[in-house]
Structure 1
Amino acid sequence: MLAELSIKNFAIIESLTVSFEKGLTVLTGETGAGKSIIIDAIHLLAGARGSSEFVRYGEKRAELEGLFLLDDEKHPVYTKCEDFGIDVSDGMIVLRRDLSSSGKSICRINGKLVTIAILREIGQYLVDIHGQHDNQELMNEENHLTLLDQYGGKKVKQALGEYVEIYKSFDLLRKKITQLSENEQEMAHRLDLLQFQLEEIESADLQPKEDELLQEEKTQISNYEKIYESLQNSYNSLHGEHKGLDWVGHAMSNLEDVGLINTTLKELSETISNAYYLLEDLSYQVRNELEALEFDPERLNFVESRLNEINHLKRKYGQSVEEILTYSAKIEDEIDTIQNRDSHLHKLQKELDSVLQDLTIEANNVTSIRKNFAKVLIDEIHRELKELYMEKTTFDVNFAKKRTSTNDLKYSPAGIDEVEFYLSTNPGEPLKPLSKTASGGELSRIMLAMKSIFSQHQGITSIIFDEVDTGVSGRVAQAIAEKIYRVSNGSQVLCITHLPQVAAMADTHLYIAKETNTGRTKTSVKPLAEEEKIKEIGRMIAGVEVTELSKEHAKELLALAHSSKG
């Protein structure tokens, strides 16, 4: 949910901080007080396009910041933030956006600088804004398949997952066939290039880990003098009269005589004896290393030359000898494929035909499951529309198969289905695409009916309705109010409204006002107590002058709302 919104120097708002609660929050006030400006600020925080016109007159920049709290540890926004390297801790996400008077925009998520595109991608998982004149997500047929799949939940997801696994193999085989079917000239050029690369790698006769071993040898030869001097000094320190081993030997002899007298001294004698023989053995190893050490400048030249040759190949074919050898094996297979193209094409086509059979079965299974859920969705939306007094409206989910330009089935990661919502608002009229059917108050109710269903499956933390109840009254207004409240049971809902019925259903009522001080206009936000709610709802009922009768009517609306919630 959106827990707190901070706005500074934005339009007519000088400085404003608003805290929001769970459930349904309504924003009311006189026309022009700044209700929609607050929604505009949230819209920009979610990645909408901004401009310098939003910056308050006379100021250099506008600052917007929103704190979102996440209750669900499996919310999809966590994965998105991880993809973009954004740290999310304690279930909190802070979106910040600064707009300068020059038109530049700076965006941050949890303190990390991001592009507007990233802000928009994260924002779409946090906020869903619906305005009276917006091009709604529900009105865009490209989103209908996704909405149906979300409604289908785990069953559709599982079936689609099984389909996608086969689709990956299908797509890989298809790409290989396309690549092999390229024109002769391109394939000839490709073959020449690969043969040159393979010959260059094979002529180098690389051995596994050769680069590491050569680098180690180069380091040793380059440090010959240092190594020789260290070994010589170590050996001289141990061997010879009055040297290390000589003195340890004296200690060992002296303790051997008294070791038979005292148990403790015997243990000391044995320890020193062990140390003496260990040091003696080590001194022989040092001497052997010293005798084996030799400086060969010719060998150093060979090692350096060989390393240069390997590094040259690394720049072209891989970061290590192992990667170069792996690449060599890969292009060897590709050369064989190109040289025997016809037989490989036949083999790949046979594999593709086999995979296509399995893919078609899985695709049809996905379609079948989608159609089953579509039937349930149709019934559910009809019930929602009936509650909104649109019982004569018919809703349907239209299925079509994706086709290529040659009218073949078109397989995609989402399956073979094209889904679009259809509607008929009057008896006797044919079903038409949703985007071409509804308008005005009808559109608001249809959108609300769908939103009350889909919001349970989308995982959006905050849903905002900006005057979606325009153009309705009476019993329809009451039905809309109850429907909006029902949506708020699954997600936080912020609603700008002019309907007293909707305001009465609010869990939290914020009053937006503006005032002029020293020649400048400012917007303020005030949470209303119970008596203030009655007065404000009375104003919404009566218009300009609040009468006792309008107050009584407001009390009745609040009582009815309380009863409806129960």
Structure 2
Amino acid sequence: MIVSLHIRNLATIEDLELEFQPGFNILTGETGAGKSIIIDGIKFLLGERASPDIIRTGKKEALIEAVFRVKPETRNSPLSSYLIDGEIFVQRTITSEGTGKAYLNGILVPVRRLKEIADELVDIYGQNDHIFLLQLENHLHYLDDFIEAASLRQEVSSLYHRLKALREEKQAIEERQKERERRLDFLAYQIEEIKRANLRPGEWEELLAERHLLKNAEKIARLCQEALEIAYYSDNSLLTLLKRLSHYLEELGQFEPAFKELGRSLDPLTLLVREAVDNLLRFEQRQEASPDRLERIEERLSQIERLRRKYGGEIKDILEYLYKIEDERNQLLTSEERLFDLKREIEATFRDYQDKASQLSELRQKGARELERQLKKEMSQLGLKQADFNIKIVSHRLSLEEIDRLKESGWDEVEFLISPNPGEELRPLRKIASGGELSRIMLALKAIGKESSSGKTLIFDEIDSGIGGQTADFIAQKLRSLARRHQVICITHLPQIASFAHHHFRIVKTVEGERTFTSVEKLDFEERVKEVARLLSGRRITPLSLQNAREMLRHNLGEKTD
């Protein structure tokens, strides 16, 4: 239940504090006094979006905060982690720039966290909410909520989405089948062409070097001969001259020791010349003018150049491309296997869907009869004693070939049927029910709520719109009955409803200078008499309206209805 509510700088509210009580709380006031602003504030507090326009003119920030007390049976829910001594303090702000913050027990939290706990704290029913009963898809949701089928329905939904994803993957593979064959042929050609070339990393550079040698074979042979002539072949070759010089210096060393040392210093130079000669001889032996070899090299280079232009600049790039297209081909080849696996997965998932959807359908069939029984009882208490109510369930048990027609919610289509008067046939609720009947049926659905939700605060925002007379009496009695299990907060213009409340608050609008202020007053019995009299007769309160109001309050408050 809402223990206290504090609103600051919201529309015409400058600073307002409300202490709600257990049971039936009523809010009344002149049109435009600001009653709905309070409900809007609660909605904003619990996660609804709002525009900075809601901030009071001249202020930079609006603040809404409330203390909620949670019943023990609710404390095992996700809400429990935020509770302190069974209570939770919720706070939210919004600035003129559109930014804001949310807090739970003083701890900053994302706004979505407020939405997560909102359903466990408050259920708000507005004057137009009965319109949802006119939307056929909501009938199924009402039934599923009644039978508490959320878990089973989620399983059906998950299987539906799994089937949808599998079918989309299967269709995508099938649509690519023709393209797949063409692509496989093309990849096979490219793979064969590259593999047939038998490329080696570095081969291009090696061939270029060898071609350069072969093209200059005659010049290389001539240069080798001339170099060997100087160093080795001639009578006055470098090696011969160095040998003679070394010998002469050795002889002179007998007369001057320094020459002996100089002779030995020539040894490295002699070794260097000999090494050059050896290299020249080996290089010359390797060189052989071969027109056939040169032709083969030119052909090989041309072959590689064609592949380089098609698949990449270097041999390593061509080989990387080869690995890539081999991987693509393998994936395309396995798509046949994936298609086969997908068909089996679809069949298995469809069987699971059939099983869960059938379980859900059976649960709905049984639950529909109980909902009918309870709803007729509630409708009778709301003045619809002669009305008949029926829940029509049409099940479409589809085959695998009709998979396109599957629904996330299972096999069933649900529609509420009503016969307002005896002798009339049952007809769709959305086609024949009046606004007053819809309001009472919606209230009856609320009254059938499970005990597990008894900790919630139920807020009714002008649900009496468009009704009056005896219907208003029935709704007032039902709201008071609901207050046995819930804290009920109701905004009303009807004296019948106001007179049944345990606690009565009046919303007052005042104008001071050029500013408007909304405030709240908790009324005692005599003040309630005056307020109910105003609701009965308008602005001009008469002795008769006061008398009627007093009698109405004494009768309704004294009656042991709760």
Identify whether the pair has TM-score above 0.5, normalized to the shorter chain: yes
Provide the C-alpha distance between the structure 2 equivalents of 1:100 and 1:94, rounded to a whole number of angstroms: 20
Code of the residue aligned with 1:381 in structure 2: it is L
Provide the C-alpha distance between the structure 1 equivalents of 2:455 and 2:427, rounded to a whole number of angstroms: 30
Q: Answer yes or no: is the 8 Å Cα contact 1:5–1:65 preserved in 2.
A: yes
Among candidates 446, 454, 457, match of residue 441 of structure 2: 446
Q: TM-score, normalized by length of structure 1?
A: 0.62
Counterpart of 2:176?
183
Counterpart of 1:528?
523
Query: Structure 1 residues 147, 133: CA separation in 2 closer, same or farther (over 3 Å shift)?
Result: closer
1:38, CA displacement in angstroms? 1.3
Counterpart of 1:10?
10
Code of the residue aligned with 2:363 in structure 1: it is I
Matched residue of 2:100: which SS? strand
Counterpart of 2:125?
130
Q: Answer yes or no: is the 8 Å Cα contact 1:463–1:493 preserved in 2.
A: yes
Among candidates 487, 497, 512, match of residue 482 of structure 2: 487
Provide the C-alpha distance between the structure 2 equivalents of 1:478 and 1:54, rounded to a whole number of angstroms: 35
Q: Answer yes or no: is the 8 Å Cα contact 1:137–1:143 preserved in 2.
A: yes
Provide the C-alpha distance between the structure 2 equivalents of 1:149 and 1:123, rounded to a whole number of angstroms: 20
Q: Is the counterpart of residue 65 in structure 1 residue 65 in structure 2?
A: yes
Cα-to-partner distance string for 1:469-511 (whole Å, 9 max, x where unaligned): 2333333222111111122222221001122222222122112
Q: Answer yes or no: is the 8 Å Cα contact 1:29–1:35 preserved in 2.
A: yes
Code of the residue aligned with 1:465 in structure 2: it is F
Query: Structure 1 residues 335, 527: CA separation in 2 closer, same or farther (over 3 Å shift)?
Result: farther
Provide the C-alpha distance between the structure 1 equivalents of 2:66 and 2:135, rounded to a whole number of angstroms: 28
Code of the residue aligned with 1:516 in structure 2: it is V
Among candidates 358, 364, 367, match of residue 370 of structure 1: 364
Matched residue of 1:22: which SS? coil
Query: Structure 1 residues 415, 525: CA separation in 2 closer, same or farther (over 3 Å shift)?
Result: same
Matched residue of 2:501: which SS? coil
1:413, CA displacement in angstroms? 5.8
Matched residue of 2:410: which SS? coil
Query: Structure 1 residues 465, 158: CA separation in 2 closer, same or farther (over 3 Å shift)?
Result: closer
CA RMSD of aligned residues (A): 4.1
Cα-to-partner distance string for 1:73-127 (whole Å, 9 max, x where unaligned): 5568627x98xxxx5544444433323334x141414145556555445434432
Q: Answer yes or no: is the 8 Å Cα contact 2:375–2:445 preserved in 1.
A: yes
Counterpart of 2:94?
99
1:130-169 pair list within 5 angstroms:
130-134=125-129, 137-153=132-148, 156=149
Query: Structure 1 residues 181, 4: CA separation in 2 closer, same or farther (over 3 Å shift)?
Result: farther
Query: Structure 1 residues 360, 337: CA separation in 2 closer, same or farther (over 3 Å shift)?
Result: farther
Counterpart of 1:463?
458
Q: Is the counterpart of residue 383 in structure 1 residue 377 in structure 2?
A: yes
Q: Answer yes or no: is the 8 Å Cα contact 1:394–1:431 preserved in 2.
A: no
Q: Answer yes or no: is the 8 Å Cα contact 2:347–2:400 preserved in 1.
A: no
Code of the residue aligned with 1:512 in structure 2: it is I
Code of the residue aligned with 1:65 in structure 2: it is E
Q: Answer yes or no: is the 8 Å Cα contact 2:506–2:520 preserved in 1.
A: yes
Counterpart of 1:476?
471
Cα-to-partner distance string for 1:368-394 (whole Å, 9 max, x where unaligned): 110111122122222222222223444
Counterpart of 2:325?
none
Counterpart of 1:46?
46
Counterpart of 1:229?
none
Query: Structure 1 residues 74, 42: CA separation in 2 closer, same or farther (over 3 Å shift)?
Result: closer
Counterpart of 2:510?
515
Q: Is the counterpart of residue 551 in structure 1 residue 550 in structure 2?
A: no
Query: Structure 1 residues 77, 433: CA separation in 2 closer, same or farther (over 3 Å shift)?
Result: farther
1:137, CA displacement in angstroms? 5.0
Provide the C-alpha distance between the structure 2 equivalents of 1:438 and 1:116, rounded to a whole number of angstroms: 38
Query: Structure 1 residues 421, 112: CA separation in 2 closer, same or farther (over 3 Å shift)?
Result: farther
Matched residue of 1:106: which SS? coil
Query: Structure 1 residues 373, 457: CA separation in 2 closer, same or farther (over 3 Å shift)?
Result: farther
Q: Answer yes or no: is the 8 Å Cα contact 1:180–1:338 preserved in 2.
A: no
1:389-468 pair list within 5 angstroms:
389-401=383-395, 407-408=402-403, 410-411=405-406, 414-425=409-420, 428=424, 431-432=427-428, 434=430, 436-454=431-449, 456=451, 461-468=456-463
1:428, CA displacement in angstroms? 3.8
Counterpart of 1:306?
none
Provide the C-alpha distance between the structure 2 equivalents of 1:549 and 1:165, rounded to a whole number of angstroms: 60
Matched residue of 1:565: which SS? coil
Query: Structure 1 residues 397, 171: CA separation in 2 closer, same or farther (over 3 Å shift)?
Result: same
Query: Structure 1 residues 5, 77: CA separation in 2 closer, same or farther (over 3 Å shift)?
Result: farther
1:254-273 pair list within 5 angstroms:
none
Code of the residue aligned with 1:475 in structure 2: it is Q
Provide the C-alpha distance between the structure 2 equivalents of 1:186 and 1:21, rounded to a whole number of angstroms: 71
Q: Is the counterpart of residue 563 in structure 1 residue 559 in structure 2?
A: yes
1:177, CA displacement in angstroms? 4.7
Comparing 500-509 and 128-137, the one that deviates more: 128-137
Q: Answer yes or no: is the 8 Å Cα contact 1:381–1:450 preserved in 2.
A: yes
Provide the C-alpha distance between the structure 1 equivalents of 2:401 and 2:343, rounded to a whole number of angstroms: 19
1:555, CA displacement in angstroms? 3.6
Matched residue of 2:541: which SS? coil
Cα-to-partner distance string for 1:327-356 (whole Å, 9 max, x where unaligned): xxxxxxx99886454455445534543553
Code of the residue aligned with 2:556 in structure 1: it is L
Code of the residue aligned with 2:492 in structure 1: it is T
Provide the C-alpha distance between the structure 2 equivalents of 1:550 and 1:168, rounded to a whole number of angstroms: 63
Code of the residue aligned with 1:383 in structure 2: it is K
Counterpart of 1:36?
36
Provide the C-alpha distance between the structure 2 equivalents of 1:124 and 1:3, rounded to a whole number of angstroms: 17
Matched residue of 2:467: which SS? coil
Provide the C-alpha distance between the structure 2 equivalents of 1:344 and 1:51, rounded to a whole number of angstroms: 51
Provide the C-alpha distance between the structure 2 equivalents of 1:144 and 1:75, rounded to a whole number of angstroms: 30
Q: TM-score, normalized by length of structure 2?
A: 0.63
Q: Answer yes or no: is the 8 Å Cα contact 1:404–1:410 preserved in 2.
A: no
Cα-to-partner distance string for 1:392-448 (whole Å, 9 max, x where unaligned): 4443333345789985475566433333434454664662253x5444333322221
1:170, CA displacement in angstroms? 6.2
Provide the C-alpha distance between the structure 2 equivalents of 1:182 and 1:393, rounded to a whole number of angstroms: 56
Q: Answer yes or no: is the 8 Å Cα contact 2:25–2:503 preserved in 1.
A: yes
- Gapped regions of structure 1 (runs ≥ 5): 193-333
Q: Answer yes or no: is the 8 Å Cα contact 1:106–1:113 preserved in 2.
A: no
1:565, CA displacement in angstroms? 2.1
